[in-house]
Structure 1
Amino acid sequence: MERHAASRGHPGPLNLITDVEGLRVGQADDAQACTGVTVILPDDRVAAAVDVRGGGPGTRDTDALGASCLVRSVDAVVLSGGSVYGLAAGDGVAAWLGARDRGFTLLRQPGVPPSPIVPTAVLYDLANGGDKRWGETPPYRELALRAATHADKHFPLGTCGAGFGAAAGALKGGLGSASYVTHDGMTVGA
């Protein structure tokens, strides 16, 4: 019986998405605004797919992942609070990657930067009691730059990053992660 259970697999060493080799996660939040950003940052471009659902999705660069499109790899994935304002987090990570010469390049030419592919999804946390009087400078681009800069294999769970201001009705939300190593050695992370 024990041998059979062990042959099914087990959680990864950290039980985080970063148990998948080559992934790091960075997070930054703004306690005053009660919001935040999470960046999943691979060491190299990785294959990706997406399924967008819901009556009011807030996304960026997800259409580029369609089967009929040229681009099939991403340079990062961003999750953010802030509804439509949070989409600027993708801009911050794209700028961070581009400054490091990372991204999609159709044809290398001097002086032409790569185009980082950064699918971004946002959640609505605007009415959670935080101070959203940011005028023309929502914090998401800056939060994303900070999160990308501090990406690591170890990261906190719960009230942090994109989960900082998250809620489901009256229930406090947060950020979670897990990993699983299959019986044949493949690591899956979420």
Structure 2
Amino acid sequence: MKPGPRNLITDVAGLKVGNAEDHALKSGTTVLTADQPFTAAVHVMGGAPGTRETDLLAPDKTVQAVDALVLSGGSAFGLDACSGVVAGLRAMGRGFRLGPAVVPIVPGAIVFDLLNGGDKDWEDSPYPALGRAALAAASPEFQLGSHGAGTGALTGMQKGGLGSASLVLDSGHTVGALVVANPIGSVTTPGERHFWAAPFEIDGEFGGLGVDPASGLGRTLRSRKMEAMAALVGAPVSSEGANTTIAIVATDALLTKAEAQRMATAAHDGMARAIVPSHGPHDGDLVFAAATGARPMADPGAEMLALCHAASICLARAIARAVYEATPAPGDILPCWSEGAA
């Protein structure tokens, strides 16, 4: 396996990603879409998810393909970004057709970024417009770090962000991941320089510092994020519902909804490798899977194993890249990895 030419989820041919953000708001939206509707599934492992239309993705539900997937900041308000994407797709004539009616199918998920130092005193929700702008910006090329839905993301110890990575398998299939890293847990080991995902790094894509030589790690649950939120509001802040890592793993393989769901489930291994702790009661951790179906599988048994394994590796790398690529901005309540340990 080796990374695709962009080392982005858009190495899966036909996929496009668009970002839109408001830096005063310290929030934004990211949209994944494709040239044609694609198979999608989801698996939720966090205890506090925020989602829209995810029930449609279960293998036993009628809808077989979606038009876009949305990742957004804004907590519950950010689910409105899906409405902006629906409006934009409808204007393009994209969606499920029933007579003269056209209904775009757009599942989405959100992260909590309401206590990150941004101006949240809006009168009308900014998220429908952010969703539509992100759709309009969809392209094979897009920025990582403090962009799109990763604009205001925070990890346990430093700024989070938007990350992506890809792999091309020996079978010729491509797998990619796209993630908004906003967990209560840490993406780095104590000292905030080495990444938990370091064993899976390729070609120095998130700094090339290698594995932390220390042992006995992972025994503290300190979250500088929760401390910074408490300082911002002048009172203790509950971690319940205030964190989440949301992701999409994608492939050009021809998958059923059940197979796509299995890939989403396996990809959570990558989240656990890159974030400590993860999948807790106060994170809404979830992974969508997307399959364009452009390349059938010659040996489905063996190739599904490889796809699932590659998805987990891509997701771990994408999470580390999200933090590595984050950039400082006025009003930040946490430092960036690039600024060194605080």
- Would you say same fold, with TM above 0.5? yes
* More moved, 74-83 vs 60-69: 60-69
- Report whether the alignment pairs 1:121 with 2:113: no
Aligned-CA RMSD value: 1.0
CA distance in 1, matches of 2:158, 2:58: 34
Give the C-alpha shift of residue 52 in structure 1: 2.0
- State the shift of 1:73 in Å: 1.0
1:173 matched residue in structure 2: 160
Counterparts of 2:72 and 2:47 in 1: how far apart (Å)? Answer: 18
How many residues are aligned here? 177
Match of 1:104 in 2: 96
Amino acid at match of 1:100: M
User: Where do 5+ consecutive residues of structure 2 fail to align?
Assistant: 178-342
Give CA-to-partner distance per residue, 1:165-187, whole Å, 9 cap, x none.
00123421001001110012101
Q: Which has the higher contact order (CA 8 A, sep 6+)?
A: 1
Runs of 4+ in 1 over 6 A off after TM superposition: none
**Given the alignment of the two structures, is residue 133 of structure 1 paired with residue 121 of structure 2, yes or no?**
yes
Q: Secondary structure at the match of 2:161?
A: coil
Aligned partner of 1:184 among 165, 171, 176 = 171
In structure 1, give the amino acid aligned to 2:71.
L
Q: CA deviation at 1:10?
A: 1.0
The aligned residue for residue 76 of structure 1 is 68
Q: Distance in 1 between matches of 2:116 and 2:134?
A: 22
Query: Counterpart amino acid of 1:118?
Result: V
Among residues 27, 44, 47, which one is paired with 1:35 in the alignment?
Answer: 27
Equivalent residue in structure 1 for 2:81, among 80, 89, 99: 89
* Rounded Cα–Cα distance in structure 1 between residues aligned with 2:66 and 2:166: 20
Q: Counterpart amino acid of 1:97?
A: L
How far, CA to CA, are the matches of 1:53 and 1:186 in structure 2?
A: 27
- 1:25 and 2:17 matched: yes
Q: How does 1:156-171 map to 2 (within 5 A)?
A: 156-171=143-158
Alignment-derived partner of residue 153 in structure 1: 140
What amino acid does structure 2 have at the position aligned with 1:153?
P
The alignment's TM-score, normalised by the length of structure 2, stands at 0.51
Mapped partners of 2:169, 2:45: distance in 1: 28
Whether 2:7 is the aligned partner of 1:15: answer yes
How far is the alpha carbon of 1:99 from its aligned partner?
1.1
Q: Which amino acid aligns with 1:50?
A: V
SS in 2 for 1:79: strand
Rounded to whole Å, the distance in 2 between the matches of 1:66 and 1:90 is 19
Tell me the secondary structure at the aligned position of residue 43 of structure 1: strand
CA apart distance, 1:103? 0.9
CA distance in 2, matches of 1:65, 1:30: 30
* Per-residue CA distance 1:16-67 (angstroms, 9 max, x = gap): 0000010010001001110010000111000011012322211001111112
Q: Which amino acid aligns with 2:173?
A: M
Residue equivalent to 1:44: 36
